[in-house]
Amino acid sequence: MADSEADKPLRKISAAFKKLAIIVNSPNPEVPVTQFSHACSLVSPLFGCLGIAFKFAEMDYVAKVDDLVRASSSISTLVVMMDKDIEADCVRKAGSHTRNLLRVKRGLDMVKVLFEQIIASEGDNSLKDPATKSYAQVFAPHHGWAIRKAVSLGMYALPTRAHLLNMLKEDEAAAKIHMQSYVNSSAPLITYLDNLFLSKQLGIDW
């Protein structure tokens, strides 16, 4: 029996982020915490597929997304969520929704760069180069030496490209389409989130 659409994580990710892109590209974007956190939760299995090198990212990302999912039951939009933290003077405190949002945004950005690199390295069965570049660009500047070293060692245990596609239940052609779709949809979302932090004078490098 063929795998159903529901069993194919890349397709679910692609569809969810297309909807978010429509919102952030609208004249007065208001991103619902419920919709955002649900889309982000669909990305979580990707980190698990990458093995030990991204174990830290998986654990951190999943925990932060879970917090946003819980917050969505009582907070309507990302702007409202941020304003509440600013009002409570807890933006930079560990566990604040806004701090967690910044960490989740980095996870989305890393996956975007990873997909860009995988698409660009067509024909290469190793994921080491795409994974190394995406980590170096997005996460490394925020990590201490010990984590960077652990990730570097973990890169040798990455799955092959073929194995990754097998785990995602996609062939090369379909995977490329859905990865590119995520790249296209996540770019305006990441820009929106960066601008949101900057507009509130919170910065994005902490």
Q: Evaluate whether 131 touches 151 at the Cβ level (below 8 Å).
A: no
99 is in an annotated binding site: yes
143 is in an annotated binding site: yes
- In order of 82, 146, 198, the CA distances from 46 in angstroms are 27, 23, 29
User: Chain centroid to CA 185: how far?
Assistant: 12
* 64: its two tokens: 């932060």
CA dihedral of residues 13, 63, 154, 7 (deg, nearest 10): -30
Contact (Cβ atoms closer than 8 angstroms) between residue 26 and residue 134: no
Is position 7 annotated in a ligand binding site?
no
- Is 19 known to sit in a ligand binding site? no
Closest CA to 150 of 48, 60, 57: 57
User: Under a CB-based contact definition with an 8 Å cutoff, are residues 169 and 109 in contact?
Assistant: no
Question: Among 59, 80, 39, 54, which Cα is nearest to 185's?
Answer: 39
Stretch (H or E) spanning 88? none
64 marked among binding-site residues: yes
Cite the annotated binding site for an N-acylsphingoid base 1-phosphate by residue number.
60, 64, 99, 103, 143
Cite the annotated binding site by residue number.
60, 64, 99, 103, 143
